[in-house]
Structure 1
Amino acid sequence: MIAKIGKGSNMYGAILYNQQKVETESGAVLLLNKIPDTMNGRYSVAYFNKCFEPYLSANIKTEKTIRHISLNPDPKDKVSDEQFAEMAQEYMERMGYGNQPYIVFKHTDIDRTHIHIVSTCVGIDGKKIPDDYDHPRSMAICRDLETKYNLHKATKQEQKQANKIFKPVNHKNGDIKSQIASVVRHLPNYYSFSTMGSYNALLSLFNIIAEEVKGERNGQPVNGLVYVVLDKKGSKASNPFKASLFGKDAGIAQLQKHFEQSKEKLKTNPARSVLKNTVELAIHTTNSETEFKKQLVEQGINTVVRRNDNGRIYGMTFIDHESRSVWNGSQLDRNLSANVFNDWWNNGNKPELKTQDNPVSKTNTMDNQPTKDFFEFIPQKHSPNFDLGLFSLLPDAQGVDYEEEQFAKRMKKKKKRRRL
């Protein structure tokens, strides 16, 4: 089992991301800790968000107050809801969050059933819960839970090897060919993308661009692909490398097959509606491109904006790392096209989106749910120096669980060898 610990500053966004899955019937609330249940067992984003207010209001100087943790058993493991809840409780207790409010959500929208835990690292006294050596402690707990619940085990060696995959290329570090290879050889195995534009949007997260090369050789048409490394400003920082250097999966022929397969997958992907709602809410609740991107990135979604030389936006791509799918804005909805964002960010005309049949309209309602137990919020003062800080292109909050897939592949290979 693999655990991912995401750290951010947007509690509302973290709750919304999970609650939308519940409302689209691709998720469920399994457990509440230090959070009152409601009389009818129904919840809203506003209600959950209010339950964390005393802790977040008491915050003294912690920048990243939110903990968004996922626990991911091997896809072969069969784990009941009761076992998921028990594992979450033991994990949070041993990580030092046993007395904190937290919500355990189960996700079923992809083949890999797993749980997400939303909590805060700020105590009711406003002090941060120590998180030194979080990752080593988390790994040790996962190993114990694997034994206790008879789950497939992930070794340290496999985790270390998986961690080497999908690192942004740094042209200053040398060995550029190997750095490119560690990305382009594997991306099609994990992500669905249906066009060269969406592929390049995904590659841009790793400082790479793919360019088609067309011409003639011995009178025959040639259609190939080269990869080039980009610097921090998006300018080319290396010579082109032929796709053939990285295997067939990185070549144009195989990618075109992947595009067609992805088009079919994206048609029925349940992540589309959740992503659409999340993007629309970000439009409603932010006032600039920076705020918009930051809100989405804390929910595991990267926004790639393509502009021409005059600054006009001609492409909007959203990369959802939870469902591992890449979407053009117009694929999600015509109201999320590049022209809409260009009119907003370049011309100051913020779009007004209809939400009457949208789960966002339900989750965005500040309702007063009756609780089973008396629940009182203690007013606290915000720190005047509270700073959200900067966010990186590939933050902890969007961590993708490649460890699990790598482990599953190795298990399959071992079984085949035994049969032989």
Structure 2
Amino acid sequence: MVAKISVGNSLYGALAYNGEKINEAKGRLLTTNRIYNDGTGTMDIHRAMEDFLGMMPVRSKVEKPVVHISLNPHPDDILTDTEFQNIAREYLEKMGFGNQPYLVFKHEDIDRHHLHIVTVRVDEDGRSIDTRNNFYRSKQITRELERKYGLHDAERKNRRLDTPLRKVDASAGDVKKQAGNVIRELNRMYKFQTMGEYRALLSLYNMTVEETHGNVRGREYHGLVYSVTDDMGNKVGNPFKSSLFGKSAGYEAVQKKFARSKQEIKDRKPAGMTKRTVLSVLEGTYDKEKFVSRLREKGIDTVLRYTEEGRIYGATFIDHRTGCVLNGSRMGKELSANALQEHFTLPYAGLPPIPLSVPVETREDMRGQSASDHENTAGGVGLITPEGPAVDAEEEAFIRAMQRKRKKKRRKGLGM
């Protein structure tokens, strides 16, 4: 995650830059601190200006009191609104602006959603917030947040392959080379803790793996055999011994990979991010196909396993944002195979969710919590070059829910 900080004198300019953009539906106000927020995702620029001025001394010796910050996650990181809010609050707290008035905006005018924060570095007594070594402090804080939320290092190039991995195509020839490339890159890029999770990951690329056990001259051995499959999961062609792909693809190396992955997931805790996203999408639909497609849009592939009767008996989620492969039951009973089977076979499965339900990711918005920051006009304009509009279905659902609430209130006022 890259943070860009600029300071200046024009408070109104910083508010107008962000306010006009979100009021044109190119973003939304996520949260504020000590600044009025009506919860609609839009803002009254003049009201925000008055709130700021009411908390700032008339005379101050602090030069360039306005602070404008942009927080830019790696393009592969797809975050929920709640995650964005939490990241912004923690960043500001660690930077010393936690008690200051601020606004947090999410800009959606390009596919890579990012945050802009507007705040001031002078307190109510006219004293300046310590901004010495801001660059180095900010860099350290963003690294900490990346580890906590399982984000990519946005400043590290080529974290993912320049050319995305492709499924193994048995008809294209040189199958051994294709399979070897997939195995090596998946082991490098992803974390998985069991053979089942490893097998689910391989299935995305038309491959599978099986364990082999035996006894030769009184010595027990364990090995792995890889096979190429078609799009239906049926094996095609001859299997490959793991030794053909090097030691890193062998049984012992994969077992060590399980242990390393388990420790990394325990230390960095990326599973929480995956769970929040999956639960949010699950709450929004009872249609299994929509559930899978919406998760894919958010960077998570879903591998469901079925009995002969068509019942779900296994579910694995491959989060490409964090590089984690997680069985549903590992994240909680609510995402176990039985819970998913029940969810998708309820009497109203396949129908739209209850109209007044609100996605998990937006509930905090409805509490009217405040916490936000701002950017300087000089630093705000031109920080991000627009590349095209982006649409967030969950935010639209939230806005519709809020509009329904307002309509109900108006009807009550009219005695209806």
Task: Please indicate the TM-score interval, normalised by the length of the shorter structure.
Answer: 0.5 to 0.7
1:67 aligned onto 2:128? no
Scaled by the length of structure 1, the TM-score of the pair is 0.53
Deviation at 1:19, TM superposition (A): 3.1
Residue ranges of structure 2 left out of the alignment (5+ in a row): 3-26, 29-75, 93-99, 115-134, 140-144, 354-358, 375-390, 392-416
Match of residue 113 from structure 1 = 153
Q: Distance in 2 between matches of 1:368 and 1:20?
A: 12
1:22 is matched with 84
Which residue is 1:280 aligned to? 279
Partner of 1:195: 194
Match of residue 41, structure 1, among 102, 122, 126:
102
Unaligned runs of 5+ in 1: 3-10, 31-38, 56-65, 71-77, 83-105, 115-150, 353-357, 374-387, 389-420
Q: Could you say which residue in structure 2 is the equivalent of 1:407?
A: none
**Pairs within 5 Å for 1:254-403:** 254-348=253-347, 360=361, 362-363=363-364, 365=366
Q: 1:285 to 1:359 in 2, by over 3 A?
A: closer
Q: In the superposition, relative to structure 1, how do residues 229 and 242 fare at CA in structure 2: closer, same or farther (>3 Å)?
A: same
Q: Distance in 2 between matches of 1:183 and 1:247?
A: 13
1:79 and 1:67 map into 2 onto residues whose CA distance is: 28
- Deviation sequence 1:25-59 (CA, Å, 0-9, x none): 488789xxxxxxxx953558xxx5xx86xx9xxxx
2:111 counterpart SS class: strand
Question: Offset of 1:347 from its aligned partner?
Answer: 5.0
1:179 corresponds to which letter in structure 2?
Q
- How many positions carry a matched residue from both structures? 265
| Equivalent-residue separation in structure 2 for 1:219 and 1:371 (angstroms) | 68
CA distance in 2, matches of 1:42, 1:236: 55
8 Å CA contact 1:312, 1:346 repeated in 2: no
Q: Over aligned residue pairs, what C-alpha RMSD do you find?
A: 4.3
Name the CA shift for 1:371/1:22 in 2 (closer, same or farther; >3 Å): closer
Amino acid at match of 1:270: K
User: What TM-score do you get using the length of structure 2 for normalisation?
Assistant: 0.53
Structure whose alpha-carbon radius of gyration is higher: 2
For residues 204 and 27 of structure 1, what CA distance do their matches in structure 2 show? 39
Q: Deviating runs (4+, > 6 A) in structure 1?
A: 26-30, 368-373
Alpha-carbon distance between aligned partners in 2 of 1:259 and 1:292, rounded to the nearest angstrom: 28
Checking the alignment, whether the CA contact within 8 Å between 2:208 and 2:227 is kept in structure 1 is yes
Alignment match, 1:62:
none
Provide the residue aligned with 1:251 in structure 2.
250
Q: CA deviation at 1:21?
A: 3.0
CA distance in 2, matches of 1:372, 1:239: 60
| Amino acid corresponding to residue 362 of structure 1 in structure 2 | R
Query: Which amino acid in structure 1 is aligned with residue 295 of structure 2?
Result: L
Write the letter of the residue equivalent to 2:305.
R
Distance 1:26 1:237 in 2: 49
Which residue matches 2:120?
none
Percent of residue pairs bearing the same amino acid type: 31
Cα drift, residue 326 of structure 1:
1.0
- Structure 1 residue 261, shift from structure 2 partner: 1.9
Correspondence for 2:205: 206
Paired residue secondary structure (1:239): strand
Q: Given residue 67 of structure 1, which amino acid in structure 2 is its aligned partner? A: D
Over 3 Å counting, the alpha-carbon distance change for 1:242 and 1:16 in structure 2 is closer
The alpha-carbon deviation at position 190 of structure 1 amounts to: 2.0
| Contact 2:202 2:208 survives alignment (8 Å) | yes
User: Counterparts of 2:220 and 2:372 in 1: how far apart (Å)?
Assistant: 70
Q: 1:79 to 1:226 in 2, by over 3 A?
A: farther
Residue aligning to 2:231: 232
The answer on whether the counterparts of 2:194 and 2:258 sit within 8 Å (CA) in structure 1 is yes
SS of the residue aligned with 1:237?
Answer: strand
The residue number in structure 2 matching 1:181 is 180
> Counterpart amino acid of 1:22?
F
Change (3 A) 1:365 1:285: farther
Q: 1:321, 1:276 → 2: CA distance? A: 13
- CA contact under 8 A between 1:26 and 1:107: conserved in structure 2? no
Local SS of the residue matching 2:268: coil
Over 3 Å counting, the alpha-carbon distance change for 1:340 and 1:80 in structure 2 is: same
State the distance in 2 between where 1:370 and 1:247 align: 52
SS in 2 for 1:263: helix
Partner letter of residue 112 of structure 2? H
- Measured after TM superposition, the shift of residue 80 of structure 1 is 8.0
Q: Secondary structure at the match of 2:309?
A: coil
1:207 positional shift: 0.9
> Which amino acid counterpart does residue 313 of structure 1 have in structure 2?
I
| Mapped partners of 1:371, 1:249: distance in 2 | 47
Q: Deviations over 1:360-384 (max 9, x none)?
A: 36346386989999xxxxxxxxxxx
Deviations, residues 235-268 of structure 1 (Å, cap 9, x unaligned): 1122110001001111111111111222222223
Q: CA deviation at 1:178?
A: 0.3
